[in-house]
Structure 1
Amino acid sequence: MIPQISQAPGLVQLVLTFLQSLKEQGFTGDTATSYADRLTLSTDNSIYQLLPDAALFPRSTADVALIARLAGEPRFNSLVFTPRGGGTGTNGQSLNQGIVVDMSRYMNRILEINTEQGWVRVEAGVVKDQLNAWLRPYGFFFSPGAVDQ
């Protein structure tokens, strides 16, 4: 059974159709369309605020791939998607008026560390403070502005 989707202000039929199609194709994560959920994701660590049409919380890379595959269908070309981690960005980069794909709810695991080579593999929803707390016993930390090399 597919859960009832809220008819919160501002939702357009195309977004509702996308969410329905996503569930029908096996999306295992959560969807959020209530005004309260959308308002929560309308801000980040910046001064900006944009109310999204909906939010998706994928549980796996398969869910992320399904979102991308469905979004690539011509009927959904006008939808806008933005990935979101912890919402700690200071420039509003995790905000949009379309669909926010929030990775922090389920895809926030630290998967592997290689202390000899000095790298760690994480899921997209891991935030820096979480990572640094996990790395501390190994004598490592992830500095602000660090980049993947």
Structure 2
Amino acid sequence: MTLFDDITEGFILNCQCNGKKWCELNGNVFTTDPCTETFKYMETSFSCVPAIHRIACEHSMANLHCGAGEVIKVLGADLGRRDHTTCAFRREPARLEKIDCTRHTAVLAQKCDGKNQCTVRASQSVLGTSCMDTSLYLEYAFTCSAAK
């Protein structure tokens, strides 16, 4: 494994795990395997921070705001669908079937980090394409910290 591989894998973990209460990774996310016939394990360390976790249904607004003198730090944001029930009210059942489609998006962090408040539309046109013919939602987590 090279230093680049280690940095890339750390980025994958950050993108897929930050801001969540639990995180499960498929081993296929790691790109190189110098020993294909050997069983492996992943050792990791983590710390939990008190995050604000929200969900915005597709085409609604994701509203992030902090107290006076505080700024937003987005920990993670995923656009897609992981279950059949979230944001399902008055949605076509066929558009709720595909639950294995989710994609990390950095757009929320780009638009909101360092601001006291921020509003972004939860849509594929703003955040990027995720899953076609599926009713989506934006799941995101952020913290508020003292402005520097």
| Short-chain TM bin | under 0.3
- Please identify which structure carries the higher strand content: 2
- Please identify which structure carries the higher helix content: 1
The TM-score, its normalising length taken from structure 2, stands at: 0.25
The TM-score, its normalising length taken from structure 1, stands at: 0.25
Instruction: Tell me: higher relative CO, structure 1 or 2? Use CA pairs within 8 A at least 6 residues apart.
Output: 2
